[in-house]
Chain A
Amino acid sequence: MYDEFLEDIAQANGLREVNTYVKLVAGLGAIILCLLSTSFFAPLFIAVLLSGAIIILARVDIKTYAELFIVPFWFAVMSVLVIVLLSGGSPVYWSWDPFPWLSLSISRESLNEGIFVFCRVLGGMSALIFIALTTPMTDLFIVMRRCRVPEAVVDLAMMIYRAIFMVMHLLVQTYQAQVMRLGYSSFRESIESFATLCGSVFIASWDAGEDLVRAMDARCYAGKFAVLGESGPVNVYSLAVTGSFLLVSFVIVVMTKNIVAI
């Protein structure tokens, strides 16, 4: 309950001032290249490079990054195990038929398939985390507006963004108050405490919502929401780095299209 928000890391990251579009092109471009690639090598290359960028350029704490990565990593391991065991192929290295309707085998083809999928997951994940850790939501609102997302949606998103932190704050406060008075000490108690927590936070956030309307009224709300100016100008250096990253990755995608792991 006391974890740092991803958003807070993004607000303070080393690439905060780099133009939002440049960062988005780098991240989304990397995802597309991972999908285009037909070998395990290019996604692996992208994963390593972007992880390096997150840790060195964006100066994200390596432990934080590892913690973030670990959940999807295990998820990928599980899925890849299933793929390797079930996808069949030849030559077979090992096989076992526990039931007449289920046969498990490990073959060269299935191993290659597994490694390929696994690397793709790593590449995609690191690209997604790269965007999440370097581009705060507040900058994405500008992009949303630019991309002609309906104004009502963007305004609503911005208010929801603000509300999330308010509700989170209420939640932490109430939770702490409960723990201090020995809430959650037994299973039954936990259920009751949780129910009270939900109830009181609901009422408190309703209150906060009404206050919000009043605050908007007090400042002459007439259906308009200010836009934050553009982020920093496109810097030649960042553009060159992003461009060469995508170009090199693309060349690797093309050149390694037939390479297999084993």
Chain B
Amino acid sequence: MSSIILEARQIRYRYPRGMEAIRGISFHIRKGEKIALVGPNGAGKSTLMLMFNGMIRPDSGIILIDNEPVSYTRESLRSLRKRVGFVLQNPDRQIIAPTVYQDVAFGPVNLEYDEHEVKEAVTGALRYVGLEGFERRPPHLLSGGEKKRVAIAGVLAMDPDILVFDEPTSGLDPSGSEDIMELLDELHHQGKTIIISTHDIELAYPWADRAILLLEGRILQEAIPDVAFACPEYVRQAHLSMPILLDLYFELEKRGYSLPEKKPRTLLDMLQVIDVAFKKTPCPHGNPGTISVFDVDSSPHDSLPGWLASHQGVPVGAMGTRAKQHAADNNIPLDFTYGVIDKCILRAIIGESSLILTSTGMVRRVEIRVIEFDNMSGIRVPVRFMC
């Protein structure tokens, strides 16, 4: 198990002349975890998160980063804020500079990178969030989703280890929200620890490693999502709603079907539950379809158009910003942009083939997920790497 990167010990905080917002919270977060903080408005989520990068100092209790108590001197706050990147809920309140480039460069410049390093950091961050070519645009002419990306790029440019997002999907359209969640996944895959606060249970439920339910400044529950969201009493208290998949699972259970122990977290899991419940064969159409994987970083680019031409009608999914960029540059229409592997496995089960575009870092993920599925279902979904 990886080391603890962030820990809170009995922290309390009272707003000046206000009520106590945090009433004794303790928890720890391990390196590389994906944490969702959930709870009703006013539960203390934002207040708690502002403590992670030292914007708010707890009245009592301590916050530890890498087992070191946070110190509130000017110098150590600077290094803390370089390690813990914070993305505010409202990007308009986070974007400072008159152009996208200047805003993303804000952190690096103040960290005293030299001109070349600044440029590199900014270009990298912008490419990461898929905003190449937006450098000279003023922020007020961007859409909500684009502004959010600029805010994220501004934080990424400082290369923090822990990323804290306050409501990353608020105010975005469903596809924009999915893109952001996919981006968070990609960042997580790079080894970043990610903490989000959200009201969007449906997005948090499959995404998080662990969920922390907050209520009135206290932790109501802290567990893996299928446990945290499975208790109707807690869900009601925290003003949440149960994820639809869990709800369906429990309804099937109440009707007396025998279900697998593991609760479904994705559509694919749910289909397996249904197959077990109704005793159907998981692969009704004989052989499963093939999932082809194309690595946009290393596979020869000229092989792709030919493949697409000879496999017309095959759905294409892209995983990761670079793959999506590649698809956009080459006018490849995308059928899936979020939860790509699961969607392709779903296709494979009904005998259809599909193609996944991805970058080198994420090729392994396809393999891992498919093997995981194979072991669970007993079906062998063939995966073919194009090179």
A contacts, CB < 8 Å to B: 7-8, 11, 136-138, 141, 158-159, 161-162, 165-166, 169, 208, 211-212, 214-229, 231
A143: shortest Cβ distance to chain B, in Å? 14
Taken together as a complex, chains A and B put the C-alpha atoms of A166 and B94 apart, in Å, by: 12
The interface stretch among B101-109, B219-227, B364-372 is: B101-109
The interface stretch among B28-36, B130-138, B236-244, B354-362 is: B130-138
A232, closest chain B residue (CB):
B136
Binary contact readout B77-98 vs A (1 if CB under 8 angstroms, 0 otherwise): 0100110001010001111111
| Residue B289 at the chain A interface, CB threshold 8 Å | no
Tell me if A225 and B107 are in contact (CB < 8 A): no
Tell me if A226 and B78 are in contact (CB < 8 A): no
* B86 surroundings in chain A (CB, below 8 A): 218
* A141 surroundings in chain B (CB, below 8 A): 98
* A159 surroundings in chain B (CB, below 8 A): 96
Partner of B106, one of A225, A229, A231: A225
Tell me if B136 and A228 are in contact (CB < 8 A): yes
* A165 surroundings in chain B (CB, below 8 A): 138-140
Partner of B96, one of A7, A212, A227: A212
Extra contacts besides A219-B158, A226-B118 (17): CB < 8 Å? A11-B137, A11-B138, A166-B92, A169-B140, A215-B96, A216-B96, A218-B81, A219-B81, A219-B110, A220-B158, A221-B110, A224-B110, A225-B109, A226-B109, A228-B99, A228-B135, A229-B119
Number of A-B pairs whose CB atoms are under 8 Å?
Answer: 98
Residue count of chain B within 8 Å CB distance of chain A: 38
* A11 surroundings in chain B (CB, below 8 A): 137-138, 141
Taken together as a complex, chains A and B put the C-alpha atoms of A185 and B362 apart, in Å, by: 60
* B93 surroundings in chain A (CB, below 8 A): 208, 211-212, 215
Binary contact readout B157-170 vs A (1 if CB under 8 angstroms, 0 otherwise): 01000000000000
- Decide: A158 near B101, CB < 8 A? Known: A220-B111, A225-B109: no
Tell me if A138 and B99 are in contact (CB < 8 A): yes
Tell me if A222 and B78 are in contact (CB < 8 A): yes
A232: shortest Cβ distance to chain B, in Å? 10
| Residue B39 at the chain A interface, CB threshold 8 Å | no
Could you list 14 examples of A-B contacts with CB < 8 Å? A7-B138, A138-B138, A162-B97, A211-B88, A212-B93, A212-B96, A215-B88, A215-B93, A215-B94, A216-B96, A219-B106, A222-B112, A226-B118, A231-B136
* B88 surroundings in chain A (CB, below 8 A): 211, 215
| Residue B154 at the chain A interface, CB threshold 8 Å | yes
Partner of B55, one of A138, A214, A227, A228: A214
* B47 surroundings in chain A (CB, below 8 A): none
Tell me if A219 and B154 are in contact (CB < 8 A): yes
B105, closest chain A residue (CB):
A226
Taken together as a complex, chains A and B put the C-alpha atoms of A159 and B53 apart, in Å, by: 24
| Residue B348 at the chain A interface, CB threshold 8 Å | no
Tell me if B98 and A162 are in contact (CB < 8 A): yes
Taken together as a complex, chains A and B put the C-alpha atoms of A194 and B359 apart, in Å, by: 55
Taken together as a complex, chains A and B put the C-alpha atoms of A176 and B356 apart, in Å, by: 46
B116: shortest Cβ distance to chain A, in Å? 12
Taken together as a complex, chains A and B put the C-alpha atoms of A166 and B139 apart, in Å, by: 10
* A222 surroundings in chain B (CB, below 8 A): 78, 110, 112
A224: shortest Cβ distance to chain B, in Å? 5
* B102 surroundings in chain A (CB, below 8 A): 158, 225-228
Tell me if A219 and B137 are in contact (CB < 8 A): no
Q: Which of B78, B109, B137 has the most A CB atoms < 10 Å from its CB? A: B109
B119, closest chain A residue (CB):
A229
B122: shortest Cβ distance to chain A, in Å? 8
* A218 surroundings in chain B (CB, below 8 A): 53, 55, 81, 86
